Amino acid sequence: MLTPTLTHLPVNRAIRLRNVICPYCACDLTAKPVTKEHVLGRRFVPKGKLNGHWNLIVNACGPCNNRKADLENDISAITLHPEHGETHLDYDDAAKEEALRKAAKAISRRTKKPVKDSHENMKLHVPFGPNGKFSFNFTSPPQIDKDRAFELARLQLAGFFNWITYQQDEERGYWWTGGYHPLIMVRRADYGNKIIADFADAVLEWEPRILGHTAEGFYRVCVRRHPGAECWSWAMEWNGSTRLVGFLGDREVVKVVVDRLGPLQMHHHDLGNGDFMRYRTEVPLADKDDKLFALPTGATVPLTS
């Protein structure tokens, strides 16, 4: 039987914490102006998708609120960009228009250009034989800066941890112990790669602490606790197109789990003369094989919808 710590919360409204410590930087909020912070930014998903759905609202200091909004800005535009990852989600016409508008307006922090103009061209020259060479041109869709994406994920996780550890009498929540260990970020076309597939298998039976699905599927989160150590796994999906996974807590425990994941399957082509080329193709994931946000075997606790 699954532990009863997973509570089925109201699906149709936000949870509001009246915390007096900023969940992002731990500053004391009693002595400074407080902002109302949506852990899932209302503009991070298509407009209106969070209306009448679950969210988490906390108090935060102004600088943290601004920093998070800045991270959400181009990351939202890129994850909603139609080329970033084909999605199963139901984009109505308004959401499609909004995605295009955002792509025109938001500046990619990687390219310093609007997201819509942030395709990245790469040319790769591979020597072949004594005199020849292959040239490959790649155009990639707008890319998220990985450090910024994992920083945004870290802030969202800090918000969630403050909620699940919230002490009513102290009016504050707490964080995980140990470190923050991001593992990998993948686009939908590569949801089935060996590292993330092995990750999903490795942590599936850990105790779920948060399983969240909101904004009509445009946001998903899962935090699971290791059965015997101060260690948690986490996974998120943003706007149906991007998944990020990682761990929190005891580094030694994380290392044991991570050492068993993967490796990614590389193709190897011998080009003669000792030259070679290695590459990897993306691995899609069939819905029936998707375990990243699944409950452990036999568990029937309702999801936090």
Q: Which of 8, 16, 25, 201 binds Zn ion (CB under 5 A)?
A: 25
Nearest to Zn ion of 10, 62 (CB atom): 62
Q: Per CB under 5 A, does 22 bind Zn ion?
A: yes
- Interface with Zn ion by CB under 5 A: which range of 9-17, 54-62, 165-173, 297-305? 54-62
Task: Pick the binder of Zn ion from 17, 19, 21, 24 (CB under 5 A).
Answer: 24
Of 142 and 173, which CB lies nearer to Zn ion in the complex structure?
Answer: 173
Could you tell me if 73 and 44 are in contact, meaning their C-beta atoms sit under 8 angstroms apart? no
Selected range binding Zn ion among 24-32, 41-49, 125-133, 137-145, rule: CB under 5 A:
24-32
Determine the interface stretch with Zn ion among 14-22, 131-139, 192-200, 229-237 (rule: CB under 5 A).
Answer: 14-22
Min dist CB 24 to Zn ion, Å, is: 4
Q: How many Å apart are CA 282 and CA 186, to the nearest integer?
A: 9
Q: What residue ranges in the chain does DSSP mark as E strands?
A: 14-16, 34-38, 55-61, 120-128, 132-140, 179-187, 207-214, 219-225, 231-238, 242-249, 267-272, 275-279
Rounded Cα–Cα distance for residues 244 and 252 (Å): 21
Name residues contacting Zn ion, limited to 205-244 (CB under 5 A). Answer: none
The answer to the question of residue 64 lying near Zn ion (CB under 5 A) is: yes
Per CB under 5 A, 58 contacts Zn ion: no
Element (H, E) at 19: none
From candidates 58, 61, 149, 155, binder to Zn ion by CB under 5 A: 61
For tokens 């969070």, name the residue.
50
Find, among 212, 248, 244, the residue nearest to 229 by Cα: 248
Alpha-helix residue ranges (DSSP H) falling in the chain: 62-80, 93-105, 146-164, 194-203, 251-258
Give the three-state DSSP class for 179.
Answer: strand
Query: Per CB under 5 A, does 39 bind Zn ion?
Result: no
Which residues, 6+ apart, have CB-to-CB distance to 206 below 8 Å?
Answer: 224, 225, 226, 227, 232, 233, 296
User: Nearer Cβ to Zn ion, position 29 or 45?
Assistant: 29
Closest approach of Zn ion to the CB of residue 22, in Å: 3
Q: Is 29 in the site for Zn ion (CB under 5 A)?
A: no
Footprint on this chain of Zn ion (rule: CB under 5 A): 22, 24-25, 61, 64
